[in-house]
């Protein structure tokens, strides 16, 4: 059998030049809910995007799967989803000719017209614009692969909706155009699109955004982790052979000046392909504050984590069973953490005889210290003494952990000083000195607080320490001279 490997914008294909009937959807199955699908077209007016030869607001064609009333209408086909890629960059529904052209570009990769028709006529599980089922449903934002369409894992998205989730996705595209780069700018563009989806779902019918989850494939399996680091109320994160497992993916994460592995507090699950180095997974090693699970899928290549790719070619039953297992474990993982439990997810077995799962790693989260914002909330709501005690407790448990940035914490103390809460200001500046002992400004601020409080001798001790670290500080010299004259 001749095999062709090629790259098409929005899809990586490794296709046989023969056709066959596909059986992915029946193998995966569905949950108790019928599934509806709709497209919402909007713009992110806060971001510019190149369309043609002009910049305008960023167009977003949002795909939404949702629990629906049962319908006698015909379900979507793979061709219906593929045709929607024609309008990913436009505010209007594409014409029939544009839709047809969107999937005709794949014709060269199938051997006959009959094979082409069979592939794109495969029935999916959702009904377009089906009546919304009343209720309150948790949500999932889904991140596609690099340059991928919103539908690159439509079978997974339908499966989640059939189990009572509202799923939203948007095509993966770069900062200013449809071209998606594999770099920090590309990841940031996708993260911001995921954040837009989260905001869009607020107020969406029946969407319970207090139960937010993030799922992604390939590059989307890196972007969804960054999303969860910033949208801190995410219940769970699932990555399908995500770029977070590669060296370039971790380098991209480390390029963020204000994020590191410890920023993720949401439990995460990674399904790993055959090139994923599970035992060299730096993010897993470095993250301390999230329950973590990594499972190697035996013999699965990267493309087999996408339902679009799987439905294009003949697949062995083990491949189909593997995809079904990932869908089933994803829903179990989301349900487990949506139940607001502190128990570690215990769904996997490390049994090496499993035909589907290989190496399995899990790690229980270390109870997380407060974030910077949470630390300041403790000071504001519970008092300075509680804040100081929290600082020293965290320092004892996590000596390498940075709980507050210098300037922002200095300004908290300075605010106390301005309000003439002098004893409290002194306590906070003592913490500042402890946290930043090599910064001359730490001692200056503590000295100033003592000076304002009438403790000249204490003030001089700290101001002289500041001067020893910065002998040219005219402000400190003036304060010392003033105190020495008194």
- Give the pLDDT confidence of 380-419 residue by residue, as tens digits: 999 999 999 999 999 999 998 888 999 999 999 999 999 9
Over residues 297-322, mean pLDDT = 92
Domain count for the chain, please give it.
Answer: 2
Asked if pLDDT for residue 122 goes beyond 50, the answer is yes
Please write the tens of the pLDDT for every residue from 49-69. 998 888 999 999 999 999 999
Cα separation, 269 vs 345, whole angstroms: 10
Handedness of CA 255, 259, 260, 265 (dihedral sign): negative
Q: Is 402 helix (H, G, I), strand (E, B) or coil?
A: coil
Mark whether 326 and 462 lie in a shared domain: no
List for the chain the helix, strand, coil content (%; round to 5): 45, 20, 35
| pLDDT single digits (tens) 256-295 | 988 889 999 999 999 999 988 888 899 999 999 999 999 9
Query: Could you tell me which residues come within 8 angstroms of residue 427 by beta carbon, excluding any fewer than 6 positions away?
Result: 384, 385, 388
In this structure, are 357 and 431 located in the same domain? Answer: no
pLDDT score at 11: 38
- Judge if 26 and 114 occupy the same domain: yes
What pLDDT score does 413 carry? 93
* Sequence-ordered list of residues with C-beta below 8 angstroms from that of 66, at least 6 positions apart, any chain: 35, 36, 37, 38, 132, 133, 137, 161, 166, 167, 206
- 275 is a domain residue: yes
The answer to whether residues 128 and 253 belong to one domain is yes
Which stretch of DSSP H or E encloses residue 234?
Answer: strand 234-240
Domain presence at residue 398: no
**Arithmetic mean of pLDDT over the chain:** 90
Mean pLDDT of 433-450: 94
Q: Are residues 8 and 85 in the same domain?
A: yes
Percent of the chain scoring above 90 in pLDDT: 72
Same domain, 64 and 177: yes
* CATH code, 136: 3.40.50.1820
Domain boundary among 329, 363, 397: 363
How far apart are alpha carbons 47 and 73 in whole angstroms? 38
Are 349 and 458 within one domain?
A: no
Q: Both 206 and 114 in a single domain? A: yes
Q: E-strand spans in 319-441?
A: 357-363
157 and 55 assigned to the same domain: yes
Asked whether residue 438 falls in the same domain as residue 353, the answer is no
**325: Cβ–Cβ under 8 A, 6 or more apart, which residues?**
356, 357
- Show the domain range for 434: 405-485
Cα 102 to Cα 120: distance, rounded to the nearest angstrom: 12
Q: 212-248, pLDDT tens digit by residue?
A: 999 999 999 999 999 999 998 999 999 999 999 999 9
Q: For the chain, how far is it from start to end, CA to CA, in angstroms? A: 95
Residues 352 and 430 in one domain: no
Q: Has residue 335 been placed in a domain?
A: yes
Radius of gyration of the chain (CA): 27
How far from 143 is each of 86, 96, 197, 436, CA to CA, in Å? 19, 27, 10, 40
CATH of the domain at 415: 1.25.40.10
Q: CA 190 to CA 147: how far, in whole Å?
A: 10
Domain-ending residue, one of 363, 388, 417:
363
Residue 377 within a domain: no
Residue 351 has a pLDDT of: 60
Q: What is the pLDDT of residue 280?
A: 87
Q: Which range has the worst mean pLDDT, 104-118, 274-288, 310-324, 395-409?
A: 104-118
pLDDT for 87 equals 87
């Amino acid at each position: 059998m001749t095999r062709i490997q090629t790259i098409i914008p929005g899809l990586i294909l490794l296709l046989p030049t023969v056709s066959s009937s596909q059986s992915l959807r029946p193998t995966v199955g569905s949950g108790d809910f019928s599934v509806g699908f709709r497209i919402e077209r909007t713009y992110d007016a806060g971001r510019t995007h190149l369309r043609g030869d002009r910049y305008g607001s960023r167009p977003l064609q949002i795909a939404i799967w949702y629990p629906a009333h049962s319908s006698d209408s015909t379900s979507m086909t793979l061709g219906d989803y593929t045709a929607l890629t024609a309008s990913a960059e436009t505010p209007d529904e594409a014409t029939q000719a544009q839709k047809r052209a969107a999937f005709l570009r794949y014709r060269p990769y199938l051997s006959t017209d009959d094979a082409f028709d069979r592939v794109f006529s495969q029935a999916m599980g959702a009904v377009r614009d089906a009546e919304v089922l009343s209720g309150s449903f948790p949500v999932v934002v889904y991140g596609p692969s690099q340059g991928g369409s919103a539908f690159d894992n439509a079978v997974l998205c339908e499966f989640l909706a059939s189990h009572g989730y509202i799923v939203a996705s948007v095509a993966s595209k770069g900062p200013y155009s449809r071209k998606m780069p594999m770099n920090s700018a590309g990841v940031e563009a996708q993260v911001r699109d995921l954040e837009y989806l989260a905001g869009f779902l607020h107020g969406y019918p029946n969407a319970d955004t207090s139960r937010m989850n993030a799922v992604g494939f390939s590059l989307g399996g890196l972007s969804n982790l960054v999303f969860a680091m910033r949208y801190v109320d995410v219940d769970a994160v699932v990555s399908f052979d995500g770029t977070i497992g590669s060296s370039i993916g971790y380098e991209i994460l480390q390029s963020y000046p204000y994020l590191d592995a410890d920023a993720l507090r949401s439990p995460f699950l990674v399904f790993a392909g055959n090139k994923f180095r599970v035992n060299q997974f730096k993010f897993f090693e470095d993250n301390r504050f999230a329950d973590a699970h990594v499972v190697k899928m035996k013999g699965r290549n990267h493309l087999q984590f996408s339902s679009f790719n799987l439905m294009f070619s003949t697949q062995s039953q083990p491949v189909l069973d593997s995809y079904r297992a990932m869908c089933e474990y994803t829903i179990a993982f989301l349900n487990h953490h949506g139940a607001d439990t502190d128990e570690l997810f215990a769904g996997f077995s490390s049994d090496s005889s499993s035909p589907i799962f290989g190496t399995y790693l899990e790690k229980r989260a270390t109870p997380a210290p407060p974030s910077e914002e949470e630390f300041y909330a403790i000071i504001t709501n519970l008092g300075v003494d509680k804040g100081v005690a929290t600082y020293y407790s965290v320092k004892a448990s996590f000596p390498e952990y940075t709980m507050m940035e210098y300037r922002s914490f200095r300004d908290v103390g300075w605010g106390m000083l301005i309000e003439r809460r002098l004893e409290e200001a002194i306590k906070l500046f003592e913490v500042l000195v402890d946290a930043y002992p090599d910064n001359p400004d730490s001692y200056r601020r503590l000295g100033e607080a003592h000076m304002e409080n009438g403790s000249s001798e204490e003030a001089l001790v700290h101001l002289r320490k500041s001067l020893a670290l910065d002998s040219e500080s005219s402000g400190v010299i003036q304060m010392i001279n003033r105190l020495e004259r008194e």
